[in-house]
Amino acid sequence: MRTKHMSCAWPHPATDRRSGFTLMELLVGMTIVITVGIVAFAFANSTITTSGFLSRRTFAQQDGRRVLEAFSLEFRKAALSAVGSYPIEAASSTSVVFYADIDRDGLVERVRYFVDGPTLKKGVLRPSGALPTYDLAAEKVKAMVPFIANPQVFRYYDSTYTGTEAPLPDPADPQKVRYVAMQLVIDENLAVPPEALVLSTTVALRNLKDNL
């Protein structure tokens, strides 16, 4: 009588591998995702910062040009004050005070351009009262141009000025001033490109010419 031997085949573990990520693969993947995120954030932040800087620079440049134009028109027609004071009250490298009818209303205002920290400001004072007076407490001050990098904005010249002479000593004697040069160096940060914007103008006092 023959005996039959039955064999039983058990599944081998090596033939039953399941697909999936190992711990190392997960760590590598997470590292890549985090790195990409950091780079993207840095790029977006840099873009926003640069865009904001350029916008502020553009606005400051526009403000500077408007101020130069306004100053030229106003200083050119400096005149005796409402109380008979000399057209120029004070003239230093950081500020200038003069009298002029800047709004054409028949009243001569006291006008002051001055540097306050990194900002060029303008103060306007209208005469008041039956007997006109200038109450300094009533002066209205407005910020005009930000990011001023040169505190010495003004230079003054006498009647001999032809374009090459040295300016009058600072502060200048108002009685000698016949020309004033305003220069604005505009830069939010001198240590960071691009280079500073330089705007300038030179104005002759129309009512005080004595070199003709």
Rounded to whole angstroms, the Cα distance separating 95 from 87 reads 15
Number of helices followed by number of strands (H, E) in the chain? 1, 8
Rounded to whole angstroms, the Cα distance separating 104 from 112 reads 17
Radius of gyration of the chain (CA): 36
User: CB-based burial of residue 48 (10 Å sphere; 0-12 exposed, 13-18 middle, 19+ buried)?
Assistant: exposed
How does pLDDT run along the chain (212 residues), one tens digit per residue? 455 555 545 455 554 455 566 877 777 767 787 777 677 666 655 554 555 556 666 777 788 899 999 999 999 999 999 999 999 999 999 999 999 999 999 999 999 999 999 999 999 999 998 889 999 999 999 999 999 999 899 999 999 999 889 999 999 999 999 999 999 999 888 777 778 899 999 999 988 756 44
* Domain locations in the chain as residue ranges: 46-208
Six-digit token pair at 28?
Answer: 């590598």
> Which pLDDT score, from 0 to 100, does residue 53 have?
56
Cβ neighbours of 173 (radius 10 Å): 12
Q: Is 71 helix (H, G, I), strand (E, B) or coil?
A: helix
8 A C-beta contact, residue 88 and residue 204: no
Rounded to whole angstroms, the Cα distance separating 177 from 64 reads 23
Task: Give the number of C-alpha atoms closer than 13 A to the C-alpha of residue 90, restricted to the C-beta side.
Answer: 11
Give the helix/strand (H/E) hosting 116.
strand 109-116
Cβ neighbours of 198 (radius 10 Å): 13
Q: Which of 149, 106, 144 is nearest to 127 (CA)?
A: 106
Rounded to whole angstroms, the Cα distance separating 146 from 59 reads 9
Rounded to whole angstroms, the Cα distance separating 212 from 24 reads 89
> Which residue has tokens 């000698």?
176
Q: Is 173 helix (H, G, I), strand (E, B) or coil?
A: coil
> Which pLDDT score, from 0 to 100, does residue 31 have?
79
> Which pLDDT score, from 0 to 100, does residue 211 have?
47
> Which residue has tokens 């526009």?
62
> Which pLDDT score, from 0 to 100, does residue 43 have?
60
> Which pLDDT score, from 0 to 100, does residue 178 have?
96
